[in-house]
Structure 1
Amino acid sequence: MYFDFSGYSDMAIGLGMMFGFRYLRNFNYPYIAKSATEFWRRWHISLGSFFRDYVYIPLGGNRCGRRRWLLNLMVVWGLTGVWHGAAWNFVLWGLFYGLLLVVEKTWLLERMERLPSLARHLYGIAVFTFGWLIFWIEDPSTFVEYLLALGGVFGATGTSTAWELNAWAFWPVLLLCALASTPVLPWLRAKVVERAGGPSAQGFLENDLPGERHLSVDGICDAQSWLEALPADACPSDRVAVNALGVVADVGALVLIALSVLGVVAGTFNPFIYFRF
């Protein structure tokens, strides 16, 4: 779901740039989130911005009494669920996140700050995994069965063997997708720039990744911006190394495009997942 939705958003951003339009980033590595609050700052940013500007703020936002503020949150998330479709699973999904955000903002987030980063990240994974379960299951009678399957009751591959499911063929793609869902590549790029005399990688990532108004491609795939980050007196070999890394990134992107096209051509019809909504 993430790569389907985030992928077509990035395609829209790229196609828009070809025609001179500059669209805002719509996804910002949501699966590194450590809470539901952070997850929804990173997931479907355009939807969150719409409901914030046209529903939450007109209702009074958080500039009102505590009860009214909490009611505003629940109204926004109830409407967010209905926005996805007129089905009870979407309504329950929206109310689930509304209630969870209320709990986080009023009590949980402050206490979670005392926990290690890994524990908070595991909490974030558990939250959005359970959320997708509510979102996806249309038949309530099967909900418990799916929940048990997520817990490993039926084994790692359910009631079938890995061979029967051809799971071995998907593990390389799954591992690659897991890597791509984290900012590892921008971090490596930033470390190379830092080593060549540019700004520190930590500061670079803080400026480049969290801002929801940054373009998805800004500072990530533009080799020229890497070179501009270097000091004027950077040695030529450092500039060559940074430029070479930019070329490698471009070649890698082209290879991924080619492999994606081959996968589509070789596969059967696979409907766009968001046609459901």
Structure 2
Amino acid sequence: MVFSSLIFLFMFLPITLIIYYICPRKFKNLVILIMSLIFYAWGEPIYIFLMIGSILIDYIGGLMIEANKEDSEKRTAIFITVIVLNLSFLFFFKYYGFLIDNINGIFGVNLQIRNLPLPLGISFYTFQLISYVADVYMGKVVAQRNIINFGAYITMFPQLVAGPIVQYSDIEDQLNNRSESIDKFGEGVERFIGGMGKKVLIANNIGMIWTSIKGLPIEELSILTAWIGIIAFTLQIYFDFSGYSDMAIGLGKMFGFEFLENFNHPYMSKSISEFWRRWHISLGSWFRDYIYIPLGGNRRGKAVQFRNLLIVWFATGLWHGASWNFVIWGLYFGVFIFLEKLFLGKILNKVPDAIAHMYTVVLVIISWVFFDTSKVNDALNYIKLMFGMGKNIFMDNMAKYTLKTNLILIVIAIICSTPLIKNLIAYIKKNYKLKGVYIVIAMNMLVLILSIVYLVSESYNPFLYFRF
């Protein structure tokens, strides 16, 4: 079940909201837990037991760590055991086949692989479990004694299957002391509709451009067609994932929660470092807090800093998928971030903003080729084509037709990737008072109606980050 589906919009969400708001305060987290398990079981009826098992392991582990404050060796042993179990589940389901493939390739053997479907959201909820146990171990938070509250935190359906990754320390107090209000509910509805518009009206439509182009043999593409295709994917993945995050944040507000932002107009960045402070913010924060800083961060010289960055970005790439393309994608960013820390950042601060912005956007566009191709050679050949390293012509009829039929959509997507629309809405609300509220409501209703019409008439409605 995805947020941008009719069954979620007209059945699951209304039923959940009604039950939630008519229940007494003491049962609200139980409602969230039960409905979240139903939400997850809708798509993963078997793997729900894996999730429940993981919750029990970390719940008990957190209590045991706290109960052994005076015995550091035992406390550390419990912490390591829980972390190993969490990572073992993730490794088995996500990386087992990747490991066997590489063993077969390196040693020339033919070990058999049993293909297992990847449990939805396992990368996201595993990181939340790890952050909880790590925070308890480091004394940042007190172990949660109410298993209903802990289960609600892990399974909370708004951010269960594709984030944002909510660290326990950010939501600990809200589990018991949150407040619902008409204003917050209205903000949540507005945020949800905006996210759905991003996903359904922009990401779905612009994604079909990339789908049609990447499926063709590379020798049949022109240079311009290659650029159009990967620019379309660059826009698709932003509106797909940021749209989901907006919907998740909006749903959280409807239930009284305040989730941290996950995107901040990343394509406005003027460096790769800035891009990753704006893109998938919750993931970047997680790797900073639980890997980069514990490794020593940038406190031990440039060589150690470079090592730490490579470890973090290797892990970041691998987190996204069991493929060397993802690893290269992660290391690619790690190298540029190190170069910016070493000397490139000073240069970028001196050049005109337009040049720094172009540098960032081009490097990010190139990175998405590795991200959405299955083999390293395929990615390299596509990048060579983009920069004219071959016999492909600059422009063909496909490029002309694609631009002619999709130029308005691409322009709208580019505009919507900037803060312009957000600032316009804020301006209308501020300067037109009650009339402005009506204008914004009308805009949201239009987006909602158009999104529903699209969902009724179209079948192309993937969420790209569900596969991670």
TM-score range, shorter chain: 0.7 to 0.9
Distance 1:253 1:151 in 2: 41
Q: Name which of structure 1's ranges 172-181 and 27-36 shifts more when overlaid on structure 2.
A: 172-181
Contact 1:148-1:154 within 8 A present in 2 as well = no
Distance 1:137 1:60 in 2: 34
SS at 2:383 equivalent: helix
**What one-letter code is carried by the residue in structure 1 that aligns with 2:342?**
T
Q: 1:44 aligns with which of 263, 274, 280?
A: 280
Q: 1:182 aligns with which of 418, 423, 435?
A: 418
Higher Rg of the two aligned structures:
2
**What one-letter code is carried by the residue in structure 2 that aligns with 1:112?**
L
Cα gap change, 1:135 to 1:161, in 2 (>3 Å): closer
Distance 1:46 1:13 in 2: 12
Q: 1:171 aligns with which of 403, 407, 418?
A: 407
Cα gap change, 1:265 to 1:145, in 2 (>3 Å): farther
Q: Name which of structure 1's ranges 176-185 and 145-154 shifts more when overlaid on structure 2.
A: 145-154
1:77 counterpart residue number: 313
Counterpart mapping for 1:225-264 below 5 A: 226=430, 241-264=432-455
> RCO higher in 1 or 2 (8 Å CA, sep ≥ 6)?
1
Q: 2:343 aligns with which of 107, 122, 132?
A: 107
Q: CA deviation at 1:145?
A: 3.6
What does the per-residue CA deviation read over 1:118-158, in whole Å, with 9 as the maximum and x for residues that have no partner?
111111111100111121121233224422443475445x6
Cα gap change, 1:154 to 1:35, in 2 (>3 Å): farther
1:275 counterpart residue number: 466
**What one-letter code is carried by the residue in structure 2 that aligns with 1:245?**
G
- The alignment status of 1:133 with 2:342, answered yes or no, reads no
Distance 1:171 1:149 in 2: 22
What does the per-residue CA deviation read over 1:49-85, in whole Å, with 9 as the maximum and x for residues that have no partner?
1111111111111222322122111111111011111
Q: Name which of structure 1's ranges 241-250 and 82-91 shifts more when overlaid on structure 2.
A: 241-250
Distance 1:249 1:14 in 2: 16
- The alignment status of 1:32 with 2:223, answered yes or no, reads no
**What one-letter code is carried by the residue in structure 1 that aligns with 2:361?**
I
SS at 2:398 equivalent: coil
**What one-letter code is carried by the residue in structure 1 that aligns with 2:316?**
T
Q: 1:17 aligns with which of 253, 276, 282?
A: 253
Structure 2 unmatched runs, 5+: 1-236
Q: How many residues align?
A: 229
**What one-letter code is carried by the residue in structure 2 that aligns with 1:274?**
Y
SS at 1:256 equivalent: helix
**What one-letter code is carried by the residue in structure 1 that aligns with 2:327?**
V
Root mean square deviation, CA, Å: 2.2
Contact 1:56-1:76 within 8 A present in 2 as well = yes
Q: 2:328 aligns with which of 86, 92, 112?
A: 92
Identity value in percent: 41
Contact 2:271-2:357 within 8 A present in 1 as well = yes
Cα gap change, 1:124 to 1:54, in 2 (>3 Å): same
Distance 1:264 1:150 in 2: 34
Counterpart mapping for 1:150-165 below 5 A: 150-151=386-387, 154-155=393-394, 160=398, 162-163=400-401
What does the per-residue CA deviation read over 1:238-258, in whole Å, with 9 as the maximum and x for residues that have no partner?
5xx244333322321221222
Contact 1:31-1:181 within 8 A present in 2 as well = yes
**What one-letter code is carried by the residue in structure 1 that aligns with 2:408?**
P
What does the per-residue CA deviation read over 1:220-253, in whole Å, with 9 as the maximum and x for residues that have no partner?
xxx4xx4xxxxxxxxxxx5xx2443333223212
Q: CA deviation at 1:175?
A: 1.8
2:242 counterpart residue number: 6
Contact 2:425-2:440 within 8 A present in 1 as well = no
Contact 2:241-2:463 within 8 A present in 1 as well = no
Which portions of structure 1, spanning 4 or more consecutive aligned residues, are displaced by more than 6 angstroms? none
**What one-letter code is carried by the residue in structure 2 that aligns with 1:68?**
V
Q: TM-score, normalised by structure 1?
A: 0.75
